[in-house]
Amino acid sequence: MATSFQTHPDRYRHWKLTFDGERADLVLDVQPFGGLRDDYELKLNSYDLGVDIELADAVQRLRFEHPEVKVVVVKSGQQRVFCAGANIPMLGSSSHAFKVNFCKFTNETRLSIEDASKHSGQKYVAALNGTCAGGGYELAMACDHLILIDDGSSAVSLPEVPLLGVLPGTGGLTRLVDKRKVRRDRADVFCTTSEGIRGKRAVTWGLVDAIAPRSKFDEAVAEAAAALAKGGRDKGPGIALEPIEPEVTEGGDLVYRYVRVELAEQARTAVLRIRAPEEPQPTSADEIQAAGSSQWSLRAFRELDDALLQLRVNHLDVGLVVLRAEGDLDAVLAVDAALHANRDHWLANEILAHQARVLRRLDLTAKSFFALADRGTAFGGVLLELALAADRLYMLADDDEEVAVALSASNLGAMPMSHGLTRLEARFAGDASAVEALAKTKGERLTTAEADELGLVTVAPDEIDWDDDVRIALEERASLSPDALTGMEASLRFPGPEAPDAKIFARLSAWQNWIFQRPNAVGPEGALTKYGAPDRPTFQWTRC
């Protein structure tokens, strides 16, 4: 059964979202037998993908539907346990591909919390009322302020290395030293101490921001929440996020309002089409507010986001995705212009931030992407970012100069990648003059010859060669080893400096991907396989 990434607070099984003025409480109360599969039990507030799908939905709805909220308290609905992390039986019984995509989604969800803090002014408090381990501590570290109950037994821990033989979710290590600035020698001790660290030592080492006894814990949480809410921006009213479930055709294609995914499973390819708006779009702040979640700039990118997740999890053998942006190029540029002209309005700002998050999800998707620009395509502004994110751009050289691309403000800093560069800066690493030359063309239609001369195009076949060149390129790419391609693409897509966000996924694509296949973790005698069993794992001691 295919995994759906769409939900609603009315259907949450594991989270409860409540509101009190500027404060929201996001309560984790995992139902042990409410997992996506029935072959594991979600004990101790441990989570599976279904739990995190609800969390991602809640974070998104807080930004769009409840902009009045300035602080979110993440807490547990169970006694003496905050979150024990990812469910180990679930991981142990899942395929390698699922484990990696699960870890990637959970990290993207935690990054969305940090993005909400940075770009929406919604701060997060983690109220750690008990055991906080592994992915549970990663969730806590995504928050702005961590309060640990001081009861003599409650601790924070990243026990994956000693207990499971795997990395602490990759995001755990990076947030520990890059975000929380924990000394690396102390981090070494912490990550190899399975029982974790509690009380004053946790504060001294920077693992949490404060501790409080049980009798004063709720009071301390309330004080921290009130302090973080001060100075938050006044916004709103919010908008309702309308459902975007796709229609699934008899052939398995996914059909949304503006996005369509055409699957060719036997060829291991898919065509992802995103259509430019045909109907009038809002131009003023009031119109943007009134249009709500039905406006193209939000709806189309929510659909694109869901399509990417569907491809990741439900279509694992699809290795190559052909990107096509179709419709009126000028209509896309007009939408971009309106959003950027009104970006001081809370909703325009949220839409731009959402588009940026979706594009980063594309960057981090372990599939090849080829963009095809020919007659009727609309690779302009924010949709040009799709072509810039792609591994290659094929653009038809036509004598009539009907095929064109164009830049907008979306290409010049509004949509940063995970390592902080724009996709133009990543494309022309070390060549600022090339980026400057392109920036001067903002709003202009660039023909294939002009775009090729400016360095935007990979290959520009003419009418005679187009069909054969594209077909051969697609067939060749789909025939290559997906393991090799994943490693290659993850390296080539992110030239330049490394930032904490990029570190998380670089390690996920390399180290965690590798460790998850090693016998010390997942072999018959591996730590992940033997977890919970009476006998201990047997390690191969060779370092490589």
Across 108-118, average pLDDT? 97
Tallying the residues shown for the chain, one arrives at 544
Is the pLDDT assigned to residue 36 strictly greater than 80? yes
Split at pLDDT 50, 70, 90, the class of 191 is very high
Query: Does the structure show a pLDDT above 80 at 238?
Result: yes
Q: Looking at the predicted structure, is the pLDDT value of residue 232 above 80?
A: no
Residue 201's contacts (CB-CB under 8 Å, 6 or more residues apart) are none
The pLDDT assigned to 189 comes to 98
Distances (CA, A) of 338 to 176, 302, 403: 40, 19, 24
In this model, does residue 509 exceed pLDDT 90? no
**Of residues 202, 214, 81, the one with CA closest to residue 150:** 214
Domains in the chain: boundaries: 9-229, 251-485
pLDDT > 90: percent of the chain: 94
Q: What is the pLDDT of residue 512?
A: 80
DSSP for residue 61: H
Domain 251-485 CATH assignment equals 2.30.60.10: no
Indicate the pLDDT class of residue 544, thresholds 50, 70 and 90. Answer: confident
Q: Amino acid identity of 240?
A: A
Model pLDDT for residues 426-470, shown as the tens digit of each residue? 999 989 999 999 999 999 999 999 999 999 999 999 999 999 999
In sequence order, the 6+-apart residues with CB closer than 8 A to the CB of 521 are 164, 165, 166, 515, 527, 528, 529
pLDDT value of residue 358: 98
Buried residues in 384-404 as b, exposed as e (16+ CB within 10 A)? bbbbbbbbebbbbbbeeeebb
Q: What is the mean pLDDT of residues 367-394?
A: 98
Residue 65 confidence class, pLDDT cut points 50, 70, 90: very high
Q: Are 161 and 525 in contact (CB under 8 A)?
A: no
Mean pLDDT, rounded, of the chain:
96
pLDDT at 234 > cutoff 90: no
Does the pLDDT value for residue 507 go beyond 90? Answer: no
How much is the pLDDT for 1?
A: 78
pLDDT tens-place string over residues 72-101: 999 999 999 999 999 999 999 999 999 999
Q: What is the per-residue pLDDT across 260-308, written as a single tens digit (0 to 9) for each? A: 999 998 999 999 999 999 999 999 999 999 999 999 999 999 999 999 9
Class of domain 9-229: alpha beta
Rounded CA-CA distance 74/147 in Å is 11
Contact (CB, 8 A) for 190 and 176: yes
Confidence of residue 26 (pLDDT cuts 50, 70, 90): very high
Per-residue confidence band for 188, with pLDDT thresholds at 50, 70 and 90: very high
DSSP H or E stretch at residue 46: none
User: Poorest-confidence range of 29-43, 151-165, 231-245, 455-469?
Assistant: 231-245
DSSP string, 384-398: HHHHHHSSEEEE-B-
pLDDT of residue 35: 96
Helix, strand, coil percentages (3-state) for the chain, rounded to 5, are 45, 15, 40
pLDDT value at position 400?
A: 85
pLDDT of residue 6: 97
Of 161-170, 320-329, 369-378, where does mean pLDDT reach its minimum? 161-170
Q: Do domains 9-229 and 251-485 have the same CATH topology?
A: yes
Work out the burial of residue 459: count CB atoms within 10 Å of its CB; fewer than 13 is exposed, 13-18 middle, 19 or more buried: middle
Q: At a CB cut-off of 8 Å and minimum separation 6, what does 55 contact?
A: 15, 26, 109, 139
Share of the chain above pLDDT 70, in %: 100
Range from 234-238, 245-249, 460-464 carrying the lowest mean pLDDT: 234-238
pLDDT beyond 80 at 401: yes
The predicted pLDDT at position 233 comes to: 78
Of 366, 382, 357, which is closest to residue 274 (Cα–Cα)? 382
Residues 6+ apart with CB under 8 A from 31: 13, 14, 42
Buried b (16+ CB within 10 A) or exposed e, 338-350: bbbebbebbbbbb
Cβ atoms of 188 and 168 within 8 Å: the answer is no
Angle between helix axes 329-341 and 296-314 (nearest 10 degrees) is 110
